[in-house]
Amino acid sequence: MTNIYDFICANAAYFDQLKFSDTGSIFIDYLCPIKESKTRVWSHMNCLMYVCRGNKGYGSVDRIHKSSPHEVLFVRKGGVVLHQYFENPYRALIFMFDDAAILGFFAEFPSLVRREEQSIPALVDLPTVTTVQSSNFIQSAFLSSLDFLKSPADENRAALEIKFKELLVSILRERGPNSFNHYLSAICCDKAASFIKLMRDNSHFNFTTSELARIAGMSLSTFKREFLRHFGVSPGSWLREQRMARAVAMLSQNRSVSEVAFELGYSDAAAFSRAFKMATNRNPSDVPGNGPK
One pLDDT digit (tens) per residue for the chain, 293 residues:
899 999 999 998 889 999 999 889 999 999 988 888 888 899 999 999 999 999 999 987 668 889 999 999 999 999 998 988 888 889 999 999 999 999 999 889 888 876 554 444 567 777 888 888 888 999 999 999 999 998 889 999 999 999 999 999 998 887 655 678 778 877 877 788 889 989 988 888 888 899 999 999 999 999 999 999 999 999 988 888 888 888 888 888 888 888 888 878 787 888 888 888 888 888 888 887 665 54
Phi, psi of 149 (to 5 degrees): -85, -5
Residue 151 pLDDT: 84
**DSSP per residue, 213-224:** HHHHT--HHHHH
Q: How many CB atoms lie within 10 A of CB 65?
A: 20
94, 95, 93, 86: which is closest to 56 by C-alpha? Answer: 86
Instruction: Give the per-residue pLDDT at 118.
Output: 45
Give yes or no for a contact between 26 and 145, defined as CB atoms under 8 angstroms apart.
no
CA atoms of 27 and 18, how far apart (whole Å): 6
- In this prediction, residue 172 carries a pLDDT of 85
Contact 171, 180 (CB under 8 A): yes
Distance CA 162, CA 169 (A): 11
Q: How far apart, in whole angstroms, are the C-alpha atoms of residue 63 and residue 48?
A: 19
What count of Cα atoms within 13 Å lies in the side-chain half-sphere of residue 9? Answer: 13
Provide the 8-state DSSP code for 188: H
What span, in angstroms and rounded, lies between the C-alpha atoms of 141 and 135? Answer: 10
Nearest to 95 by CA among 45, 38, 133: 45
Strand duo 46-53 + 91-97: pairing: antiparallel
- Cα–Cα distance for residue pair 38/292, rounded to 1 Å: 23
Specify the length of the chain in residues: 293
Identify the pLDDT of residue 119: 45
| Of residues 95, 97, 99, 73, the one with CA closest to residue 141 | 95
